[in-house]
Structure 1
């Protein structure tokens, strides 16, 4: 969940005609970017790729490294001419400077949680004995690198709370190194597990070992760009070398499959969830750990539906699934009679989309989305009785973890103008109380959040949240930042962000569109924005922008759009299709070359959502919107600042490099076409606070100048 006044920026922002305020000098002088003769044949269609060389890894290519440095010089010089950027950076730091906590994880009376004192580059992991115990530091990533680029990616305590497995990521990479720590003494064990990506380990109940999945060591020079294939499952005995780990499961006949391990709470079963993409459809295989030399048994032997383990009662396993339930439900499967005809429905499908479920204290707690807002219900173990779980308001709640013998659970709650609080729910009393609350230097009562529903191009109603300072005049003169994602079944729900509060203080309006392709309304909503239907996502976003203009929140010259990753693709596609509609664009770490994304690192997993250029029909759909391929020479594009990072090994930076080069070539007019390339950073996770503040200040300073905003 993202962590985002009575005190203003030190100046008020007033708005004037952006056409008169925007710098209209000569176009920027960009670095000369060479073009090569590269043409590919896709099902009879010849497609030029003149900037293919920019796909080369910056660590291995001197000419790409030189290009990156030259582009950053241009961008940095441009940003240095925006004096408001310094004031924005200062205010962001003031807002950001508050204690941030994670929801506790409880193991045998020990409470594990992370804390950031405000401006620390990385959160620190602590533990305390008992609810009122004194916290002590277990791990402080800030001591591992002076620049804050080493992050604690994940951590899992053993069932007895005496050992802790934790992952470390460097420079934002998806590659994690896992180690083990003695919780009693704080001593590091010698264990070190490398080449782990997209997976978390699972402890055995006796804490003598962990099951985990990993890849083989990449060939030299391919660590950050090579395809991730042939993941395998191993057992690691605590105190031994990784080279001694026992291979548990592999599928060399399907090198594209990936595996996630789970051990049931009673320790009887090891579950291996197999995935081949991002569509959440899984195979499920289990081992009976009560039997020596247990062999794998396929419980679910196809990829037709989602099956996410909720918990178990002996040989009865509970799964959240969309089998015969597009909005999802929870069913029980007895391993003795696992055929679907014998499954028992525990939590039935409702009209809201079930997002997650947990089993603690001998009951289920289920989280739903109702028009992109969290709704929580509690169910008895047999599902026959249920009740609404009261939340503090309209927003996003998360957490609700715990063991089956637990008498408490913790959850967080936040909204666009509501800083995050952590609540403790007492199962015996049936009441919640505030456990921790964020104290941010702003007044949430100054802001208003509304939810609207607007028609898309085909008439589909799309929800959108809009947040602004109370007293807003809908006269078409407000700077608006429209944010979207629209993919991979991911839902955008109300959450708190310091950067958004700073934007609101500047007089801006912040809007979030819940586009098709997301998970806000279940499987049908998601599938309506995938593969051959991906254009629906862009139509939804464009319609949201037009609605904001028609309703006088803003005008085109004052409207900015922003998105990251799949959302970066969204911004790139929309600015290519409707360059007249926007005043500024902020595509971050975007998938910009849709014909080649599946050839790098994790890109092959995204074919479930995007399709692939290897398929003729899907190629036609993809080629029609691929941002890199749909920029037109001589077009006046909105002011654009692309952001990416040199260690992004999820959406490799070559996507952004090529898009920037093409944009600089094609654009006509004085609007800046910049790319900001972060060093020692990745796709976003684990980025140090200092780097985040610098990047956000640069983005907001860029908007300040190009949307015609002016200090009063």
Structure 2
């Protein structure tokens, strides 16, 4: 890349600005709004103040704004739990009481009352602090708690006494969603992933009220773009992983912490003896220890949709693996748990097909199907884990049913709710159907359509009695992540208000396996855009909606996708919602976590990658093509966003405003401070969701006589395995 040169561009905020023009692989690339990459400069602050005024004035005119906010608020007004963890004589979980903004960590003594161990709202009454992760010690007397403030997702790791709720030592600063693996009541491993000074990797921490014990680095990261992880399997095996960016590849090592074992006399916590499970291969695996002492792995090795293999942890390399459960060619294996007893071990498998989970039990010796586990409905299974007592716990949700915790006893045909007596409110009747559309290259792309009972359009093309309705078309299409249909108060409120909701399972996501992801990644990313355009066209052709009544919606990588589709086909839809999107694909590597995403999008340093990036980069398409007759656009940006830097929506909004003529449909930016890409206070989440969908309603003509609510809740502690936009 050559040094940039400058020219003058017209802009009214401020009146005269230098336009940076970079020369990349011989191509001039204009960037007139690079000044908006400085978040706190006087010019940026002044520009943002104008955008805030624009948004406030527009939002006042949206008829359904208050009604949607009330509906969403009613839908989330319920107690929400996470699955319980037993440590010593206590059960630990998080509970977010109805009406509260954040979940709190609670402990329950055997036969005793519930005790609040840590409440973010009490810790920080402003509501800006979130509970990012937590892990109790083996004896249940301490809890390691990680929090962050202002949406930065970077914070502190504190060790609290369960009895008092007070810290027992000074916090460990500068951690980001750190895994914690306790090896005793006074020591644990944790990870650092953000530091650029050689500290990235797995560390041993000994709890010391005096601060006399220095942390010890036990395994440094092998590269600058890897994400470390650490877990303890049983009481003996220490597992360390490194995920390579977000490319669905990881390396795994295991160490035996039992010094009494033959040949392991030198094992010490500060000097683990590592054995390679797999490294340097295009493989992603997730291991778990079975009750029989074997290591079971959910893996993509020779299985794009994943299979289960097993090995002795003392000989963990792939040469020693044996297949237990084969790959299902029609469904992706998303989660598993090794349960049962040492004599009768079982494997519980959660597979997903087009957003719907199925749960089955298999023999751990030969993989034979033992039974199909009955679930409450057609929805999503998450957090499937062994309960340590032969059974498992999991979370279940569907589009109309709140997330709930279920416990599956050993050998049980179906789960029961936890806590005892917990029952979700009766759900709304939501109907689902799947159609397929033909993308530009002939690929058949699935599209799922949701509507409420009484809307006849789910049974086929629109008729006189089933007129086209305002429809939101959602897509993500990145990082191999499948769309799973869990509960969303926002979606349900939209459906109850009379709209329709569709999801395009575009390439780049993981809806049809790893190959589906790779066919929409890096230089193939334009296919994701083509798939979304085809989905929008199909909804119109089927009579589900008209172009004017179609709103594209996506967040993060999905925000990039919907902006790129609207830039390519401005006549496709009437409105676009892009939440915390990527937009400037020439410079995405220089902002936020962009350097970690080159496996997904490519790199500007490569000429062919750069050509693909520029073919769909929304910011540059608008600068080049203008914005006349484009759909209305609502962008959201979060000042504390450390993933997709808020410079993306700032620059995109400026480009749209500059290109539009007076009287054209709006381009708005809803900008928030003290929040980021991850979890936020429920109140703020409701406000954001209501504003976004009130915008969609106003621009697509949704105007029902009333909005009602008949179901409730979502939430829980956010523990992402990868940091994807």
TM-score (norm 1): 0.88
1:623, distance to aligned residue in structure 2 (A): 0.7
1:337, distance to aligned residue in structure 2 (A): 4.1
Aligned match of 2:103: 123
Aligned match of 1:98: 78
Aligned match of 1:26: none
Aligned match of 2:378: 394
- Find 1:470's aligned residue among 420, 441, 453: 453
Aligned match of 2:439: 456
Contact conserved, 1:612 with 1:618, CA < 8 A, in 2?
A: yes
- Find 1:371's aligned residue among 351, 354, 357: 354
Aligned residue-pair number = 666
SS of corresponding position for 2:202: strand
Cα shift readout 1:649-705 (whole Å, capped 9, x = no counterpart): 11110011111100111224420101010111001x221111112112211221222
Aligned match of 2:302: 324
1:555, distance to aligned residue in structure 2 (A): 0.2
SS of corresponding position for 1:38: strand
- Find 2:339's aligned residue among 360, 367, 391: 360
SS of corresponding position for 2:32: coil
Tell me how far apart the structure 2 counterparts of residues 209 and 485 of structure 1 sit (CA, whole Å).
40
Contact conserved, 1:33 with 1:661, CA < 8 A, in 2?
A: no
Aligned match of 2:231: 262
Tell me how far apart the structure 2 counterparts of residues 69 and 279 of structure 1 sit (CA, whole Å).
38
Q: Does 1:667 align with 2:660?
A: yes
1:314, distance to aligned residue in structure 2 (A): 8.5
- Find 1:307's aligned residue among 276, 285, 304: 285
Cα shift readout 1:46-69 (whole Å, capped 9, x = no counterpart): 1111111111233xx232222222
Tell me how far apart the structure 2 counterparts of residues 141 and 401 of structure 1 sit (CA, whole Å).
26
Distance change >3 Å, CA 30–CA 546, structure 1 → 2? farther
Q: Does 1:497 align with 2:477?
A: no
Tell me how far apart the structure 1 counterparts of residues 577 and 316 of structure 2 sit (CA, whole Å).
49
Aligned match of 2:581: 590
Tell me how far apart the structure 2 counterparts of residues 502 and 30 of structure 1 sit (CA, whole Å).
39
Aligned match of 1:622: 613
1:263, distance to aligned residue in structure 2 (A): 1.9
Instruction: Write out aligned runs for 1:67-146 (5 A).
Output: 67-130=47-110, 133-146=112-125
User: What stretches of structure 1 of length at least 5 have no aligned partner?
Assistant: 1-28, 219-227
Distance change >3 Å, CA 108–CA 611, structure 1 → 2? same
Aligned match of 1:5: none
SS of corresponding position for 2:668: strand
SS of corresponding position for 1:468: strand
1:34, distance to aligned residue in structure 2 (A): 5.6
Tell me how far apart the structure 1 counterparts of residues 517 and 14 of structure 2 sit (CA, whole Å).
41
Q: Does 1:62 align with 2:16?
A: no
Q: Which has the higher mean CA deviation after the structures are superposed, 609-618 or 192-201?
A: 192-201
Tell me how far apart the structure 1 counterparts of residues 155 and 333 of structure 2 sit (CA, whole Å).
31
Tell me how far apart the structure 2 counterparts of residues 634 and 492 of structure 1 sit (CA, whole Å).
31
SS of corresponding position for 2:665: coil
Aligned match of 1:249: 219
Contact conserved, 2:233 with 2:288, CA < 8 A, in 1?
A: no
Contact conserved, 1:371 with 1:521, CA < 8 A, in 2?
A: yes
Distance change >3 Å, CA 314–CA 160, structure 1 → 2? farther
Contact conserved, 1:193 with 1:242, CA < 8 A, in 2?
A: no
Q: Which has the higher mean CA deviation after the structures are superposed, 158-167 or 321-330?
A: 158-167
Aligned match of 2:165: 186
Instruction: Write out aligned runs for 1:480-491 (5 A).
Output: 480-491=471-482
Cα shift readout 1:400-442 (whole Å, capped 9, x = no counterpart): 3125x41332222221123333322111555422335887777
SS of corresponding position for 1:41: strand
Q: Does 1:159 align with 2:133?
A: no
Tell me how far apart the structure 2 counterparts of residues 543 and 78 of structure 1 sit (CA, whole Å).
31
User: What stretches of structure 2 of length at least 5 have no aligned partner?
Assistant: 1-10, 259-266, 457-461, 706-725
SS of corresponding position for 2:19: coil
Tell me how far apart the structure 2 counterparts of residues 184 and 237 of structure 1 sit (CA, whole Å).
20
Contact conserved, 1:476 with 1:549, CA < 8 A, in 2?
A: no
Alignment RMSD: 2.5
Aligned match of 2:459: none
Distance change >3 Å, CA 281–CA 217, structure 1 → 2? closer
Aligned match of 2:674: 680
Contact conserved, 2:470 with 2:545, CA < 8 A, in 1?
A: yes
Q: Does 1:279 align with 2:272?
A: no
Q: Does 1:545 align with 2:545?
A: no
Tell me how far apart the structure 2 counterparts of residues 690 and 657 of structure 1 sit (CA, whole Å).
24
Cα shift readout 1:109-161 (whole Å, capped 9, x = no counterpart): 5322222222211112212134x653221111111222311111111122332
Distance change >3 Å, CA 509–CA 332, structure 1 → 2? same
Q: Which has the higher mean CA deviation after the structures are superposed, 483-492 or 429-438?
A: 429-438
Tell me how far apart the structure 1 counterparts of residues 367 and 194 of structure 2 sit (CA, whole Å).
47
1:295, distance to aligned residue in structure 2 (A): 3.9
Contact conserved, 1:99 with 1:439, CA < 8 A, in 2?
A: no
Tell me how far apart the structure 2 counterparts of residues 670 and 294 of structure 1 sit (CA, whole Å).
64
SS of corresponding position for 2:360: strand
Contact conserved, 1:409 with 1:424, CA < 8 A, in 2?
A: yes
- Find 2:208's aligned residue among 239, 242, 246: 239
Contact conserved, 2:657 with 2:667, CA < 8 A, in 1?
A: yes
Instruction: Write out aligned runs for 1:561-580 (5 A).
Output: 561-580=552-571
Tell me how far apart the structure 1 counterparts of residues 292 and 215 of structure 2 sit (CA, whole Å).
28
Aligned match of 1:417: 400
Contact conserved, 1:417 with 1:444, CA < 8 A, in 2?
A: yes
Tell me how far apart the structure 2 counterparts of residues 393 and 96 of structure 1 sit (CA, whole Å).
19
Aligned match of 1:641: 634
Tell me how far apart the structure 2 counterparts of residues 334 and 34 of structure 1 sit (CA, whole Å).
68
Aligned match of 2:520: 529
Aligned match of 1:37: 19
TM-score (norm 2): 0.87
Cα shift readout 1:484-524 (whole Å, capped 9, x = no counterpart): 10111111111111111211122111111222111122111
Cα shift readout 1:189-239 (whole Å, capped 9, x = no counterpart): 1141111125312111x2221111215767xxxxxxxxx986222110012
SS of corresponding position for 2:169: strand
Distance change >3 Å, CA 488–CA 203, structure 1 → 2? same
Tell me how far apart the structure 1 counterparts of residues 390 and 243 of structure 2 sit (CA, whole Å).
34
Tell me how far apart the structure 1 counterparts of residues 289 and 604 of structure 2 sit (CA, whole Å).
40
Contact conserved, 1:122 with 1:686, CA < 8 A, in 2?
A: no
1:635, distance to aligned residue in structure 2 (A): 2.1
Distance change >3 Å, CA 439–CA 588, structure 1 → 2? farther
Aligned match of 2:713: none
Tell me how far apart the structure 2 counterparts of residues 585 and 32 of structure 1 sit (CA, whole Å).
27
1:265, distance to aligned residue in structure 2 (A): 1.2
Distance change >3 Å, CA 357–CA 198, structure 1 → 2? same
Tell me how far apart the structure 2 counterparts of residues 79 and 243 of structure 1 sit (CA, whole Å).
55
Distance change >3 Å, CA 606–CA 359, structure 1 → 2? same
